[in-house]
Structure 1
Amino acid sequence: MFRGFNLSLPSIDEFNKIDEFINIGENILKKTKLKVKSTLDDYLLNNKQLDGDQIINEWFPEVKAHMFLSHLHKDEKIAFFLAGLFREAFKIDTFIDSAVWGYSDDLLKQLDDKYCKNSDGSYNYLKRNYSTAHVHMMLSNSLNRMIDNCECIMFLNTPNSIVTSNEINNKTNSPWIFSEINTSIIIQKKTPKRLEQRVKVFSSNEMKMLNENEQQQLLIDYTVELSHLTKINLKDLVKWLSTSKFSESPEKSLDDLYAQHPLNKKFLSNER
């Protein structure tokens, strides 16, 4: 990962061709998803234990993408729209993180039904804790790997994803947003080869998300550090889109975005 952006975009009502771009984004999601196994027996090793590596590779596969789009499920339509818009305007391939969230619940249900039931058919609390830990670790590590592999991460900052916001702190109810943002802070920043001969600067830090709804739902607030993400808004997005007609490649489009929002000048004598 090289750069991160904090996009404040409460709605997409100002844009044209909304449904068209949403459809393009939804098709990207469909292509991202693999045909998952119908039974866990396909993952059994000779010792009758499940092959965790194979489960990760097939349920949470790596996808080649330029941008990691972190968002809350409530904002999925906006995420689809942005993914479609970036594909059409810039040829940028966007990884929509909800592409793998949905898989985690399906996988967990299969594990719980096979390994976590009591004799009366109810679920065993301790066994379910254990299975949930495994699936969430698989998901978290897969998402962290995608953040590392993508050149750019964009956090979709809406009233749904950030529940309180001021100059001092931002709060989210989503453990996935909390995880993704913190991953983007600690992950090693990698300058693309095409930019290595230009001015060297430190980025500093960079984000993740999950579910919502229902009465008496468990909600836990996490403070998320967003200062390392470059703030952009609708006006900035429109300005970037205006460069699309001059764009020769996804990389050139990302370079235009970086140039419009240069990092704080902290020069390095040598590349890390």
Structure 2
Amino acid sequence: MYAGFNLDMSDELELFKQAGNTIYNAQKKKISDELSKFLLDDGSLNGTDMQNNWFPQIKADVFISHSHNDREKAIALAGWLKRTFDLDVFIDSAVWGSADELLKKIDDRYCKNPGSSTYSYEKRNFSTSHIHTTLSTALTMIIDQTECLFFLNTPQSIDVSSVINSTKSPWIYYEIGITKYIRKHEPDRPKGIIKKGMFENAQDLTIQYKLDMDHLYDISQFDLQKWQGLFTKYNQNHPLDVLYGMRKLLMEHLVS
């Protein structure tokens, strides 16, 4: 991963939901189909194979971290990124449902109390900890492989009633936390020339969040529109390099 962005997003990308749904449904099907292979008849699970193949053949430029209640916004954003910049996007909620479905299958088969419809507390704790640990490892792997992360900062993901911003989602807490410590590496591609004056009016960022997000860069709906305009005008550059230039991440690319 190279950079993370704290995105204050409105609902102005609704027109791209259909394109985003195509991406979302394809990812969810791939993940669901792959996970079903690891539930074996003999009662065993190959945890190593499962974590390595949780996201089968999914390659992404951008990872979108979001609240479950913001799924439609994330889907619309994914559609916009694909249609506008041809960027491949990973939508993290595509895995949550699959993880829950896999847990339900495991619990129904192995965790029910004999002769009852209830579940064993101890067995359920064991199955949940196993799946969530495996999922966390797989999420770390794909965040590491993607170039950047967008966090949808909305009242659904951040508790605005608290003086110090916090989240009630363990997955948001994990995903944003891991981006602070994961290895950072610059994109391995030929450097385009950013034309003089391209970012003369770019605003500096001010980060004020306390949810361990000081390493993320603030962007807004206005920034998304500005990004699109700059890429259209200077389309000899990779779209993410244009975004990084806006946020003053690739100042070495500016020419006098």
Task: Please give the range of the TM-score, normalised by the shorter of the 2 chains.
Answer: 0.7 to 0.9
CA distance in 2 between counterparts of 1:157 and 1:41 reads 34
Provide the TM-score with structure 2 as the length reference: 0.81
Letter in structure 2 aligned against 1:233: S
Give the C-alpha shift of residue 131 in structure 1: 0.1
CA distance in 2, matches of 1:247, 1:183: 33
**Change in CA separation of 1:147 and 1:58 when aligned onto 2, cut-off 3 Å:** closer
Q: Deviations over 1:100-130 (max 9, x none)?
A: 1110000000110111111132200000000
| 8 Å Cα contact 1:163/1:172 also seen in 2 | yes
Give the corresponding residue for 2:238.
Answer: 252
Which one has a larger percent helix, Structure 1 or Structure 2? 2
Contact 1:165–1:171 (CA under 8 A) maintained in structure 2: no
1:92/1:115 CA distance change after superposition, 3 Å: same
Q: Could you tell me which residue of structure 2 aligns to residue 158 of structure 1?
A: 154
- For residue 142 of structure 2, the aligned residue among 126, 139, 146 is 146
What letter matches 2:3 in structure 1?
R
1:106 paired residue among 98, 101, 107? 101
Count of residue pairs the alignment pairs up = 233
Does the residue aligned with 2:238 lie in a helix, a strand or coil? helix
SS at match of 1:36: helix
Distance in 2 between residues matched to 1:135 and 1:101, nearest whole Å: 11
Residue type of the partner of 2:82? R
User: Are residues 172 and 145 of structure 1, via their aligned partners in 2, closer, same or farther at CA, if it must alter by over 3 Å?
Assistant: same
Q: 1:174 aligns to what? A: 169
What letter matches 1:103 in structure 2?
A: S
Specify whether residues 41 and 165 from structure 1 end up closer, same or farther in structure 2 by C-alpha distance, changes over 3 A only.
Answer: closer
Aligned to 2:70: 75
Aligned to 2:220: 233
Task: Flag the 1:39–1:247 CA change in 2: closer, same or farther, 3 A.
Answer: same
Deviations 1:215-250 (A, max 9, x none): xxxxxxxx621111001111111111112324647x
Q: In structure 2, give the amino acid aligned to 1:28.
A: I
Q: TM-score, normalised by structure 1?
A: 0.77
* C-alpha spacing 1:126/1:65, structure 2 compared with 1 (3 Å): same
Any gaps of 5 or more consecutive residues in structure 1? Answer: 199-222, 268-272
The range that moved more, 232-241 or 52-61, is 52-61
Superimposed CA distance per residue, residues 158-196 of structure 1 (whole angstroms, 9 cap, x where no aligned partner):
111011378x73200000000001110010101112378
Matched, 1:89 2:89: no
Partner SS state of residue 102, structure 1: helix
Identity between Structure 1 and Structure 2 (%):
41
Correspondence list, 1:176-195, <5 A: 176-194=171-189
The separation in 1 between residues aligned to 2:171 and 2:35, in whole angstroms, is 26
Structure 2 residue 211 is matched with structure 1 residue 224: yes
- In structure 2, relative to structure 1, the CA distance for the partners of 1:263 and 1:126 (3 Å cut) is same
SS of residue matched to 1:172? coil
- Cα gap change, 1:136 to 1:42, in 2 (>3 Å): closer
